[in-house]
Structure 1
Amino acid sequence: MTSDVRELQPAPEKSRPATWPALRALLLRLHFYAGILVAPFLLVAATTGLLYAASFQIEKIVYSDVLTTAPAQPGQAALPLAQQIDAARTAHPQGSISAVRPAAEPGQTTQVLLNVDGLPESTRLAVFVDPATGKVLGAEHSYGSSGALPVRTWISTLHRHLHLGEPGRLYSELAASWLWLVALGGVVLWLSHRLRTLRPDRKATGLRRTLSWHGSVGIWIVVGLLFLSATGLTWSTYAGANVDKVQTALGWTTPSLPSSGGDHAGHSGTSAQPASGADADRIAGAAAGSGLSGPLEIVWPAEAGAAYTVKEMDREIPQRNDQVAVDPATGQVTAELRFDDFPLAAKLVRWGIDGHMGVLFGLPNQILLAALAAGLITMIVWGYRMWWLRRPTRGFAAPYERGGWRAVPKAVLLPVAAVAVAVGVFIPLLGISLLAFLVVDVVLGRVSRSR
């Protein structure tokens, strides 16, 4: 073990600036603190994220009885949408129609989404109808624009805030806030190390072997971790609010459909509208004539006679995200919003969100997310193992000194501190926890020197 530790010392510093040893010690200390104190939050986020990556396939299996049906017989056409909607309303007369998602492919069911009093926020009742026979196969709660059914909703909520509501979101924001810093810091430390390589050293043993795997795997997954951190922060409470302000100031917000007639999809309640779906077929025909293709969502207006909104719901590449507004009286398209006309920044936001959710590339996207989550989990386990192998009680001295950041020349430390303050203000949970780490480090350093 002693030889392992000796081999793990950093490469000679002769060719590096004099400030590098002090900066490296500061970065190593920060990486250590994050590994010990923040890693548990990252571990929870990665574990629940791994489960979420599998939730799409779980949903298809659990709800196969309502999501799928026998394909229509040769020559058998699907029933008119109005007839399918009437069948759903007969089975579930409560609430009001929010939207309809016609079956996009043979063997799929039509979903009639109802706003029903008493449902949680952003939740609707989805009634599943066989498009060939008009038979109602069942009903389930549908959450958000992705239409997550209860199992996937439960897993998503677990990943987002552990079913603890707004207080629970602090855990995921803290994890996302630190993930990019831990990942980039680890890359810098690994590239400055004698063991740096893209492949783990399978011949090594003990501490050296663990570090080899920790560093090599980290290099392979660092880009994915940075992506998850950046996109995760857009959903966070505090950093997310700052991201919204920047997007608004720079004009990066997602454009909205003009004169759409008051889309209220996703909100519980009732509205003044006809109970039947008599206009649905005309609306769908007008959208098809405007170039929209399935999967579609026809959104009911908040008021009778107002325009319907028809949205393309294909989130996979190549995406179909166009929208049109249709006047029910004339059946004419009154407004259009084409995804090709989105600003590049708005497109990147859309792609980033869909990639984080695992829908941008379908199953390959979900497999990649699972691999990233598994890689992060193993990285954290290896990190704790390294700490355990060289813990102070075994007589090993730490490769850094508490309070060592004071050795960094002021000409370097001040710009670094300014950047840290700016980042800390923009990402508040990172700033607060980083300040706490530095205060603890200074206190422990003084106590150690006084002894």
Structure 2
Amino acid sequence: MGRSASTQAKAPDVMSGAYRAVWRWHFYAGVLVMPFLMLLTLTGGLYLFKDEIDHAVYRSMIEVPASSQQANPDQWLAAAARAGEGRAANILIPARADQAVRVRVDQPDGAQRTVFVDPHTATVTGVTAYGGVTETIKKLHSLSLFGGLIGTALNILVEIVAGWAIILCATGLYLWWPRRRTGAVLKPSQSDASRRPFWRDVHALTGFYVGGVIIFLAVTGMPWSAVWGDQFMRVMRDTGLGRPPAPAAASPWSHAKPHDAPAGVGWTLENAVLPAHDHSHGHDPAAPSLNRVLQTAHERGLPRPFTVSIPQSSDLAWTVARQTRKAEDARSLYVDGVSGAVKADLRWSQFGVMAKGFEWGIAVHQGMQYGWVNRIVMLIGCIAVWLLAISGLVMWWKRRPPDLSRRRSGAPPPPPDPRARIVVLCIVIPLSILYPLTGLSLLAALLLDRAVRAFTGAKPVAAS
């Protein structure tokens, strides 16, 4: 009995250094990124219900009387351009006859508007800022609401936050691992709800059961980052494992300017455009026509809904992209707006391995790939982040030092032996290599840790 007690008493000492190091970094990671994670998961959770929010807010603009008659589609564009006071850049063709078409109008000053048009009468039913409420939610989610340097800096922050979210989950798993301890493993421990062990159990079990979803959201959110996402796209293009090769009948892909970037084609083909026709034999007698492009889409059997992107450059093909929920249903037509000739018809089977994984991850991230089950699982992940943040705050509050106001942060004490930080480095170094901005932020966090210890006068606590 005495020997057993002695073994149990020594077990925490053996791992106290590494445990304290991981615990300290878990604490600081939570303090640094949890507010941003809470914003990202709040907006992400709302964006899972994009269609429902859109319909609730803009019902009067979206719903139109169903009719078998249809106005000339080019009249839709003309009406939208007048109402939006700019150039029609793309148009969403809905799946149902009782819904308005949505036209994005680019104004001369760079602003954008969404104009709703009744397809049966070419009558404008409403005008909003581009994308309306859900576009604002989307920009908040990607931290790109502000333009210029501020917007770029905030967008870069997405990559840093995603990397640290993975570190949070990895260090949390290390802290949760039962070893020789008793307490919460796969079910709550028996404790008074007013005591800290209750909140520890809530925190640990939430992280254990939902941590995988949080890591998945963090990893698949990387395409939205300004640095890692761009580099990943470049590697896919250069290796041939992403964007399909340009068809033999067309010239190679060109990189579109922002105003000509196709909509709805997915991340793999964003900014990829094809020339429409050869101007070497003089000017074409006809002007590009939406009606002609829609006829081609119908003849090719492209199901609705889909988005038609209208290039500003007359020598570029119009892009018709199917709006899908499952990644494997993706399809894009590149159509000459004058003749209606198809320059390319791209389908899921033509994408490379990296591109397929890329697009699949985004579809699951947005809760679309597997229907309502997918959406609910992603929503649970968003709610879990808030529960982790609240329970972590409660635990810190309950264990805060009495002299908190006198330069005491209440952070876990530093380990007695600097070598104990090796465990932390084994967790963060691989992530820092994969996500360089996370590595740079780690260096900043190390400097912050030294500054905090110098400011508070904290000293390593010897193992007891």
Q: The TM-score by the shorter chain falls in which range?
A: 0.7 to 0.9
- Written as runs of structure 1 = structure 2, the 5 A alignment for 1:139-288 is 139-142=127-130, 149-161=131-143, 163=146, 165-169=151-155, 171-192=157-178, 193-201=181-189, 203-205=191-193, 206-244=195-233, 246-248=235-237, 250-255=239-244, 259=250, 267=259, 279-288=289-298
Q: 1:130 to 1:264 in 2, by over 3 A?
A: farther
Structure-1 residue corresponding to 2:441: 430
Alignment partner, residue 339 of structure 1: 348
Alpha carbons of structure 1 residues 417 and 251: separation in structure 2 relative to 1, 3 Å: same
- Counterpart of 1:24 (choices 13, 19, 22) is 19
- Displacement of 1:136: 1.9
2:378 maps to a residue whose letter is L
Cα distance in 2, alignment partners of residues 180 and 108 from structure 1? 42
Partner residue, 1:100:
91
Distance in 2 separating the partners of 1:113 and 1:449 = 60
- Give the alignment partner of residue 391 of structure 1, picking from 395, 400, 418: 400
Q: 1:136 to 1:399 in 2, by over 3 A?
A: closer
The DSSP-based 3-state class of the residue aligned with 1:26 is helix
TM-score w.r.t. the length of structure 2 is: 0.75
Shift of 1:383: 0.7
Q: Secondary structure at the match of 2:259?
A: coil
| 1:406 matched to 2:418 | yes
Q: Give the secondary-structure state (helix, strand or coil) at the position aligned to 1:211.
A: helix
Tell whether the 8 Å contact from 1:118 to 1:268 is kept in structure 2 after alignment. no
Per the alignment, do residues 54 and 113 of structure 1 end up closer, same or farther by CA in structure 2, a change over 3 Å counting? closer
User: SS of 2:175's equivalent?
Assistant: helix
Correspondence for 2:301 among 288, 291, 310: 291
How far apart, CA to CA, are the structure 2 residues paired with 1:303 and 1:329?
13
* Matched residue, 1:58: 53
2-side partners of 1:215 and 1:391: how far apart?
19
Give 1:425's aligned amino acid.
Answer: P
1:370 is aligned to 2:362: no
What is the match of residue 41 of structure 1?
36
User: Helix, strand or coil for the counterpart of 1:223?
Assistant: helix
Q: Distance in 1 between matches of 2:345 and 2:175?
A: 51
Native 8 Å contact 2:38 2:386 kept in 1:
yes
2:268 match? none
Return the offset for 1:189: 1.3
* In 2, Cα distance between equivalents of 1:341 and 1:172: 30
Matched residue type, 1:229: A
Structure 1 CA distance for aligned equivalents of residues 191 and 352 of structure 2 = 51
The code of the aligned residue for 1:406 comes to: P
- 8 Å CA contact 1:326, 1:333 repeated in 2: yes
Unmatched tracts of structure 1, length 5 or more:
1-9, 143-148
Question: Any conservation in 2 of the 1:28–1:189 contact (CA below 8 Å)?
Answer: yes
SS at match of 1:387: helix
- Mapped partners of 1:358, 1:152: distance in 2: 15
Map of 1:355 onto structure 2? 364
Kindly tell me: are residues 346 and 116 of structure 1, through their superposed partners in 2, closer, same or farther at Cα, counting changes over 3 Å?
A: same
Note the 1:110-129 alignment, pairs <5 A: 110-120=101-111, 124-129=112-117
Deviation at 1:180, TM superposition (A): 0.8
Task: String of CA shifts for 1:158-193, please: whole Å, max 9, x gaps.
Answer: 333264523433554442221111012112211235
* Alpha-carbon distance in structure 2 between the residues aligned to 1:402 and 1:373: 31
How far residue 207 of structure 1 moved from its aligned partner, in angstroms, is: 0.9
Of residues 163-172 and 347-356 in structure 1, the stretch that sits farther from structure 2 once superposed is: 163-172
Q: State the SS of the aligned residue for 1:107.
A: coil
Aligned partner letter, 2:98: G
Distance 1:56 1:424, change over 3 A: same
Measure the CA separation in 1 of the matches of 2:231 and 2:315: 39
- Whichever residue aligns with residue 61 of structure 1, its letter is A
CA contact (8 A) 1:115 1:268 kept: no
Deviation at 1:432, TM superposition (A): 3.0
Shift of 1:253: 3.7
Question: One-letter code of the match for 1:369?
Answer: M
* Matches of 2:258 and 2:372, distance apart in 1: 26
Instruction: Verify the 8 A CA contact 2:27 2:411 in the aligned structure 1.
Output: no
Shift of 1:30: 1.1
Structure 1 pair 250/388, CA: closer, same or farther in 2 (3 Å)? farther
* Partner residue, 2:407: none
Q: Is the 8 A contact 1:183 1:222 kept in 2?
A: yes
2: CA distance, partners of 1:115 / 1:65: 23
